[in-house]
Amino acid sequence: MSVEGRTSSRSLEQVGKIIVRSMREEDLDAVVAIDAAATGRHRPHYFRRMLERTVKEADFQISLVAEVEGVIAGCVIATLFYGEYGVMEPAASIDAVGVLKEYRRQHVGRALMRQLRLNLSALRIETIRTEVPWDDFELLRFFKGEGFAPGTRICLERSIDLTRPES
């Protein structure tokens, strides 16, 4: 089913309820399309690995989709960490989140995040982290609305020049 071909300008009150559920294998194409629309990258292998981890390593991965009238309108994937990166308490990291453009600002992302928090709560996970491009104001606004704020840890990165070996 092509996700891009199904659009709706109606509000969710008119469309119906948002159903949030665990991601299934048959959702893969829709999830890849949502991510590609948001990021401009086509990453089917990445999302297949995430889906496999959800099935095989349920203790370490939560993958959810939101449906509106049978259309996969959004998704969120989170990885659980139990003491990695020098952080002692269990935490979750959001690896991917996306909502089809025509369903944004209609509570699809909010429904996904609510279910993610419920799932994490049941696992006694108290902290969720993510990384957001500093200039993606729409995504930053979404996460701020979901109660996220800059954390006490700073994400550091360094480019590697593959043409020059370093000593």
Domains identified in the chain and CATH numbers: 12-145 (3.40.630.30)
DSSP 101: G
Neighbours of 160 (CB within 10 A): 7
CA angle 24, 61, 37 (to 5 degrees): 60
Per-residue pLDDT of the chain (167 residues; tens, 9 = 90+): 223 333 333 333 334 599 999 999 899 999 999 999 988 889 889 888 888 887 776 668 899 999 999 999 999 999 998 876 666 788 999 999 999 999 999 999 999 999 999 999 999 998 999 999 889 999 999 999 999 999 888 888 888 888 887 64
Instruction: Check residue 16 and give its pLDDT.
Output: 54
pTM of this structure: 0.80
- Report the alpha-carbon distance of residue 44 to residue 28 in Å, rounded: 8
Instruction: Check residue 15 and give its pLDDT.
Output: 40
